Homo-oligomer: A and B are copies of this chain.
Amino acid sequence: MSNIAASIITIGDELLIGQTIDTNSAWIAQHLNELGIDVLRRVAVGDDRTAIIKALDEEIAVASIVIITGGLGPTADDITKPLLCEYFGGKLVVDEQVLTHLKDIFTKRNRPFLERNMKQAEVPDNCTVLFNKMGTAPGMWFDENDKVIIALPGVPFEMVSIMEVEVLPRFKKRFFSDALLHRSVITAGEGESFIAEKIKDIEEALPAHIKLAYLPGAGMVKLRLTGRAADAAKLAGELDSWQKQFANRLENIVIALEDIPLEEILGRWFVANNATLGMAESCTGGYISHHITQVMGSSAYFKGCIVCYSNDIKEKILGVKKDTIEQYGAVSEQTVTELAQNTLSVLEVDYSFAITGLMSIGGESDRIDVGTVWMAVADKYTVKTKKFWFPYDRPRNKEMAVSMGMLMLWKFINGKL
C-alpha cells in the first residue's frame, strides 16, 4: 500500500504572531491520514505575496496534494484568491451559484449587498469551485500537472464542511481504486510499549494491506487498523477478525471497539443501562460535567452537578459533615466519600462521581501536596475511592483529572475498579 504525499500550507499573519492556534492542520492531517494520504510537511506563512509563492513552489515540488487554508476573506490583507488565480494563469470571474448564495446570506442577516461584496463571488476561471454552505468564501480546486492544489477558508467549521462534502470524497475516487476501511481497539490503563510487547506476534502476522497505528492519549492508547483492498466485503471480514484477535489479547484493558471519546463511551453505557448520573466537583470546577455534556443527548442520563468549590456548599447543599472537613480536610478520602454518597440522594441519581483536590498553592497546601486529588464513584450498594497526584501546573492538572476521573467512572460501571 503505497501512500500519496500531501503538504499543508496555512496562510495568515495571525498564525505568525501566535494569536491563533492552528487546529485546521491537525484536522486535515488526521483525515488525510485515515484515507491513506501521508502529510509530509505543514508550513505556515503570513499574508505576504512572496512568502505564499515561495511556499507554493516548494510544496508543489514535493507533494502530489497541497492543501491551503486561510487568506480567503474579503478584507484587503487576504490575498490568497487573486494570487492563486494568477499563479495558475487564470482570471477572476463571478460564479453565479456563489453569488446567489452570498445574496441569500446577506438577506438573512439583514445587511445590504454592496458592490464591493461582489468580489466575494469571484473565483478563478481555471479552478473547480468547492461550494461553502457554511460561509461566504468558496473553496477552490486546481489541477496542475497531475497535482491537486486545494484552497479552503481558514474558519475551522467552514474548512471541515468543505473537506467532508467536497474534498475527501473526490480524493477517495481520484487517488484510490481500492476500498479503505478502519477498525479501532481503544485501551486504557497501560502504556504504548506494554501494549506493543503484548501484541507483538499478532502485529507481525498482519498482511501487507493491513496496517496498525498506535495513537496514545491521556491514560489511553488507541489502536487503529487500516486496510486497503479491492474487495470491500472481504476486507471488512478480515479486519473484523484481526480486531477481534487484538481485542481478545488485550481483554482487560479494552474499553471500546470504536474510536469515540470516553464521554461518548460513558454516555452509551448510561443510555443502554437506562441509568442516571450526577456529580460533585470541587477542584475541577465543572470541567468534568462540561465534558459529559459535550455528548449530544446527554440530558437523557446526566442530571447535573454540584460545583462545590467552597466548603459551605459541600456542607449546605451536599450535606458533608462539618466535622469531617474539620478533622480530615476538604481534600480527603472521608470528604470525597461523603460527597459521592450524598450526591446520589441530593441529585436523585443511580451513579455519582465526586472529586476534591488541591490544584495549586493555597487552600490546604500546608497539610497536603499541591496536585493531590481524591475521587470517588458510588452507586446505592458501594462507594470506591482513589487518590491521585498530578505534578503539573493548574490547567494541566485539571486536564489530567478529567481524563482520570472519566476513566475511573468507566471502570466502576464496568466492574473493573
Chain A residues near B (Cβ < 8 Å): 15-23, 25-33, 38-46, 51, 55, 58, 157, 213, 215, 279, 281, 284-290, 292-294, 296-299, 302-310, 312-313, 316-317, 346-348, 360-363, 392-396, 398
A55 proximity list for chain B (CB < 8 A): 41
A45 proximity list for chain B (CB < 8 A): 40-41
Give Cα A23–Cα B15 distance, bound, in whole angstroms: 11
Do residues B19 and A39 form an inter-chain contact, with CB atoms below 8 A? Answer: no
Taking A15-B26, A286-B288 as given, write out 10 further A-B residue pairs in contact, using a Cβ cutoff of 8 Å, ordered by the A residue number: A15-B25, A16-B40, A17-B29, A21-B22, A285-B289, A289-B307, A298-B309, A304-B312, A313-B347, A317-B347
Interface SS of A by simple majority: mixed
Do residues A362 and B296 form an inter-chain contact, with CB atoms below 8 A? Answer: yes
Residue of B nearest to A363 (CB): B299
Give Cα A35–Cα B85 distance, bound, in whole angstroms: 36
Do residues A16 and B38 form an inter-chain contact, with CB atoms below 8 A? Answer: yes
The 6 closest A-B pairs by CB, nearest first: A286-B286, A18-B30, A285-B293, A18-B29, A286-B289, A305-B307
Do residues A392 and B157 form an inter-chain contact, with CB atoms below 8 A? Answer: yes
Residue of B nearest to A309 (CB): B304
Min C-beta distance of A315 to chain B, whole Å: 11
Min C-beta distance of A26 to chain B, whole Å: 4
Min C-beta distance of A133 to chain B, whole Å: 13
Known: A310-B303, A313-B304. A29 touches B15 (CB 8 A): yes
Known: A157-B396, A305-B286, A392-B157. A18 touches B28 (CB 8 A): yes
Do residues B306 and A307 form an inter-chain contact, with CB atoms below 8 A? Answer: yes
Give Cα A294–Cα B40 distance, bound, in whole angstroms: 37
Do residues B307 and A286 form an inter-chain contact, with CB atoms below 8 A? Answer: yes
Min C-beta distance of A403 to chain B, whole Å: 15
A306 proximity list for chain B (CB < 8 A): 304-307, 317
Give Cα A362–Cα B15 distance, bound, in whole angstroms: 37
A316 proximity list for chain B (CB < 8 A): 348
Do residues A304 and B307 form an inter-chain contact, with CB atoms below 8 A? Answer: yes
Give Cα A55–Cα B286 distance, bound, in whole angstroms: 43
A307 proximity list for chain B (CB < 8 A): 279, 286, 289, 293, 304-307
Give Cα A360–Cα B290 distance, bound, in whole angstroms: 15
Known: A16-B40, A39-B16. A362 touches B297 (CB 8 A): yes
Do residues A44 and B19 form an inter-chain contact, with CB atoms below 8 A? Answer: no
Give Cα A29–Cα B19 distance, bound, in whole angstroms: 8
A299 proximity list for chain B (CB < 8 A): 309-310, 362-363
Which of B30, B157, B289, B302 is within 8 Å of A17, CB to CB? B30
Residue of B nearest to A28 (CB): B18
- A selection of 29 A-B contacts at a CB cut-off of 8 Å is A15-B42, A16-B29, A16-B39, A16-B42, A17-B29, A18-B27, A18-B28, A18-B32, A19-B215, A21-B22, A40-B51, A284-B290, A285-B294, A285-B298, A286-B288, A289-B307, A290-B398, A293-B309, A296-B360, A296-B362, A302-B309, A303-B309, A303-B312, A304-B310, A304-B317, A305-B306, A306-B306, A317-B346, A317-B347
